[in-house]
């Protein structure tokens, strides 16, 4: 895998060629009175969800009324502030069962609606701006890219990149050369991307500038098997295929990724391999399994460049959030850039044996072809050479029956219709012997939204101590905790200074980021608590016994349990705990616990 760093400012022609100028857009509607803008699918989703919550509240209140007829005061009134959601204040309004099922069916496939479909929903269900109650306009397309100009003249148009992928694609030839022409291979990039979101909100979840980490894995289109797929084939993923969504259901199905590929639910082994690796990564950083699903894109939702795409969605307080996308981009991008630049972005592979095939070939008679077509001669010739055997057969048939065939050019400086006559071209079957196979690779792309993963991790890692809601902490796994270990003295006694620094030095020398908290004015329990709030997983405490026998205590954040051992052994244990070669349960099975009721209760 080759790491690259590409330009943020992207010439307009690059993004026009890739289809982003025309198709990288969302549906937007406006408040008819105050002009505020909303993303249409999010508006519909928010309003319908609010109505479903209002129905649930109304049914709950009705049940409470029946159960508390003797005591009317027992029926709590809804708190308007607590019940205010992004879809507007939740009104306790009961819906009939048919409406509930209809709303759920729409929400299950909300991403499959185009502009007309969203407009029909807005009209049918009288969906209004939840903040003002005003009607909204019909959805209109809004391009999400930030436009700019390059150079002092302002004549060269550009955009801030909406993704890091295009910079990698236009450099494909250099990357292939650097990889010694070997396939398959991958390039990867971590960098900032920019999208002019219609309604940025929800902290790190929907912003206009964010960090992406994207991998472009180049594969042979005739062989998308992955050499390491067997390593992950047994892993079960919570999959939500497109057909399940179209049936109005949103419950993921636990499926072994090997079975999903075999059945065709996931298109190929390489795509399945990366889905499994995404799952393992999210589990490794601390995302909760029960709050993760892999949702397949619906037909109308599929990006213009993708043939199949799955999103790793994580459930947070804001609902299901797309955090990682994994798409099969086929050969779309490389083909488009190659056609525009007239440079081949392809792989040449020596064949073990010559491949002999028969193929229709169109040859032009330059003495007649050029003078007749003039400026259009070269574009027409290139068009004829790009045709399939079936298209050439149609032209050959037209030439023999009608005496001419009409060619239509589009997307060239000489667009229009041109007549081809039998004296201009010769179309015949020829035997072709190939010693080298030439093909345009397909691309499998995992794309990580770093900010969204971080936000989800913060939510999933936040906890409070049982019986004391004031004592909160982040249960970060050691791999992602900013500081792996806290080193602190029991008190401010002068004898603790030297062993304190010695322990911290040993940890850092061993590659373990450590933080020293020697603010002895606070109790040991309070210092434990404030570092728990930072998510520091382990704490080493130097106390009076350290001076006697050279031992220190090691405390684990989540359980607050402690053991005692020599400095050398504790430092080695922390290294193993941080790199994952041992677990806290294994440590506890080999070391007796130290009584810590006093230190942790004084926080």
Q: Report pTM.
A: 0.81
Query: 538: which 2 tokens?
Result: 């382990």
Q: Is the pLDDT of residue 130 over 60?
A: yes
d(CA 456, CA 317): 9
Closest CA to 231 of 195, 257, 192, 205: 257
pLDDT tens digit string along 334-359?
Answer: 999 998 888 899 999 888 888 888 88
Query: 586: which 2 tokens?
Result: 């294994």
Bridge partner residues of 240 (DSSP): 295
d(CA 121, CA 118): 5
d(CA 131, CA 118): 19
For residues 575-586, average pLDDT = 94
Burial class (CB in 10 A: 0-12, 13-18, 19+), 140: middle
pLDDT of residue 600: 65
Query: 333: which 2 tokens?
Result: 């991008």
Say which residues have a Cβ less than 8 Å from residue 507's Cβ, sequence separation at least 6. 484, 485, 487, 513, 514, 540, 571, 574
Alpha helical stretches, state H, 450-583: 450-461, 497-509, 524-532, 544-549, 567-579
**Polymer length of the chain:** 603
Q: For all residues of the chain together, what is the average pLDDT?
A: 89
- The torsion of the CA quartet 48, 50, 52, 55, rounded to 10 degrees, works out to -140
What percentage of the chain carries pLDDT values higher than 90? 55
pLDDT tens digit string along 470-519?
Answer: 899 999 999 999 999 999 998 888 888 899 999 999 999 999 999 898 77
Q: ∠ at Cα 260 (254, 265), nearest 5°?
A: 110
Q: Is the pLDDT of residue 81 over 50?
A: no
pLDDT of residue 88: 65
Between 296 and 435, whose confidence is greater? 296
pLDDT of residue 583: 93
Q: Is the pLDDT of residue 599 over 70?
A: no
pLDDT of residue 82: 47
Query: 378: which 2 tokens?
Result: 């070269």
Say which residues have a Cβ less than 8 Å from residue 348's Cβ, sequence separation at least 6. 181, 436, 437, 438
Say which residues have a Cβ less than 8 Å from residue 518's Cβ, sequence separation at least 6. 488, 489, 492, 500
pLDDT of residue 517: 86
Determine the 3-state secondary structure of 46 from DSSP.
helix
Phi-psi region of 202 (alpha: psi -120 to 50; beta: other; left: phi over 0): left
pLDDT of residue 67: 55
CB atoms within 10 A of CB 542: 28
H/E stretch holding 165:
helix 165-170
User: Do the beta carbons of residue 422 and residue 183 sit within 8 Å?
Assistant: no
Q: Is the pLDDT of residue 572 over 90?
A: yes
What percentage of the chain carries pLDDT values higher than 70? 94
Q: Is the pLDDT of residue 306 over 90?
A: no
Q: Is the pLDDT of residue 247 over 80?
A: yes
Lowest model confidence (mean pLDDT) among 167-171, 352-356, 569-573 = 352-356
- Beta strand pairing call for 514-516 and 485-489: parallel
pLDDT of residue 166: 93
pLDDT of residue 23: 84
For residues 71-85, average pLDDT = 48
d(CA 449, CA 465): 31
pLDDT of residue 74: 44
pLDDT of residue 85: 54
Determine the 3-state secondary structure of 221 from DSSP.
coil
H/E stretch holding 409:
strand 405-409
Q: Of the spans 114-118, 226-230, 391-395, which averages the highest pLDDT?
A: 226-230
For 385, half-sphere exposure in the C-beta direction (CA atoms, 13 angstrom radius) is: 8
d(CA 416, CA 372): 15
Q: Is the pLDDT of residue 100 over 70?
A: yes
Phi-psi region of 126 (alpha: psi -120 to 50; beta: other; left: phi over 0): left
Burial class (CB in 10 A: 0-12, 13-18, 19+), 299: exposed
Closest CA to 518 of 537, 535, 504: 504
Determine the 3-state secondary structure of 410 from DSSP.
coil
Cis before residue 35, ω within 30 degrees of 0? no
pLDDT tens digit string along 46-67?
Answer: 899 888 988 888 888 877 655 5
pLDDT tens digit string along 424-456?
Answer: 988 888 888 888 888 999 999 999 999 999 999
pLDDT of residue 73: 45
Q: What are phi and psi of 551, to 5 degrees?
A: -100, 155
Q: Which pLDDT band holds residue 154 (cuts at 50, 70, 90)?
A: confident
Q: Is the pLDDT of residue 93 over 90?
A: no
pLDDT tens digit string along 4-13?
Answer: 999 999 999 9
**In the chain, what's the furthest Cα-to-Cα distance?**
106
- Beta strand pairing call for 319-330 and 442-449: antiparallel
Burial class (CB in 10 A: 0-12, 13-18, 19+), 429: exposed
Q: Is the pLDDT of residue 118 over 60?
A: yes
Q: Which pLDDT band holds residue 72 (cuts at 50, 70, 90)?
A: very low
pLDDT of residue 436: 87
pLDDT of residue 70: 45
User: Do the beta carbons of residue 209 and residue 438 sit within 8 Å?
Assistant: no
Alpha helical stretches, state H, 374-433: 377-385, 389-402
Between 72 and 468, whose confidence is greater? 468
């Amino acid at each position: 895998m080759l790491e690259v760093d590409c330009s943020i400012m992207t010439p307009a022609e690059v993004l026009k060629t890739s289809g982003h100028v025309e198709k990288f857009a969302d549906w937007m509607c406006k408040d008819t009175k105050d002009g505020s803008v909303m993303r249409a699918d999010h508006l519909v989703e928010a309003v319908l969800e609010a109505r479903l919550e209002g129905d649930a509240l109304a049914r709950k209140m009705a049940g409470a009324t029946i159960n508390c007829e003797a005591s009317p005061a027992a029926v709590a009134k809804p708190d308007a502030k607590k019940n205010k959601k992004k879809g507007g204040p939740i009104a306790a309004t009961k819906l009939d069962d048919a409406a509930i099922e209809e709303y759920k069916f729409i929400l299950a496939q909300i991403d499959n609606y185009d502009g007309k479909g969203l407009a029909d929903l807005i009209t049918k269900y009288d969906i209004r701006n939840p903040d003002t109650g005003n009607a909204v306009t019909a959805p209109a397309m809004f391009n999400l890219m930030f436009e700019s100009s390059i150079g002092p003249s302002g004549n060269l148009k550009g955009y801030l990149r909406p993704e890091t992928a295009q910079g990698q694609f236009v450099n494909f030839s250099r990357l292939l050369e650097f990889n010694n022409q070997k396939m398959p291979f991958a390039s990867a990039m971590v960098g900032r991307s920019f999208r002019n979101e219609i309604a940025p909100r929800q902290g790190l979840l929907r912003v206009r500038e964010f960090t992406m980490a994207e991998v472009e894995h180049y594969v042979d289109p005739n062989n998308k098997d992955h050499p390491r797929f067997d390593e992950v084939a047994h892993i079960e993923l919570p999959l939500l295929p497109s057909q399940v969504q179209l049936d109005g259901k949103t419950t993921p199905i636990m499926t072994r990724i090997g079975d999903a590929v075999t059945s065709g639910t996931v298109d190929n082994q390489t795509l399945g391999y990366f889905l499994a690796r995404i799952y393992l990564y999210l589990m490794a950083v601390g995302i909760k399994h029960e709050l993760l699903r892999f949702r397949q894109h619906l037909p109308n939702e599929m990006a213009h460049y993708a043939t199949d795409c799955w999103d790793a969605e994580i459930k947070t307080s804001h609902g299901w959030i797309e955090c990682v996308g994994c798409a099969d981009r086929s050969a779309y991008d490389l083909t488009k850039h190659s056609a525009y630049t007239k440079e081949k972005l392809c792989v040449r592979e020596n064949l073990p044996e010559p491949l002999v095939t028969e193929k229709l070939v169109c040859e032009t008679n330059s003495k007649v072809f050029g003078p007749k077509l003039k400026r259009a001669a070269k574009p027409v010739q290139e068009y004829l050479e790009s045709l399939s055997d079936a298209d050439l057969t149609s032209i050959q048939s037209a030439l023999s029956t009608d005496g001419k065939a009409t060619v239509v050019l589009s997307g060239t400086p000489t667009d229009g219709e041109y007549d081809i006559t039998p004296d201009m071209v010769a179309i015949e079957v020829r035997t072709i012997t190939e010693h080298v196979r030439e093909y345009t690779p397909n691309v499998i792309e995992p794309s990580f939204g770093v900010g969204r993963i971080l936000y989800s991790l913060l939510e999933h890692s936040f906890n409070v101590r049982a019986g004391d809601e004031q004592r909160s902490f982040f249960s970060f796994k050691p791999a992602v905790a900013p500081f792996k270990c806290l080193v602190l003295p029991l008190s401010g006694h002068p004898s603790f200074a030297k062993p304190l620094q010695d322990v911290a030095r040993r940890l850092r020398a061993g590659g373990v980021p450590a933080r020293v908290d020697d603010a002895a004015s606070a109790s040991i329990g309070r210092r434990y608590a404030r570092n728990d709030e930072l998510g520091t997983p382990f704490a080493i405490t130097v106390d009076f016994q350290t001076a006697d026998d050279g031992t220190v205590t090691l405390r684990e954040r989540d359980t607050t349990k402690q053991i005692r051992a020599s400095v050398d052994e504790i430092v080695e244990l922390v290294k193993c705990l941080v790199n994952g070669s041992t677990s806290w349960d294994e440590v506890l099975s080999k070391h007796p616990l130290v009584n810590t009721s006093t230190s942790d209760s004084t926080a």
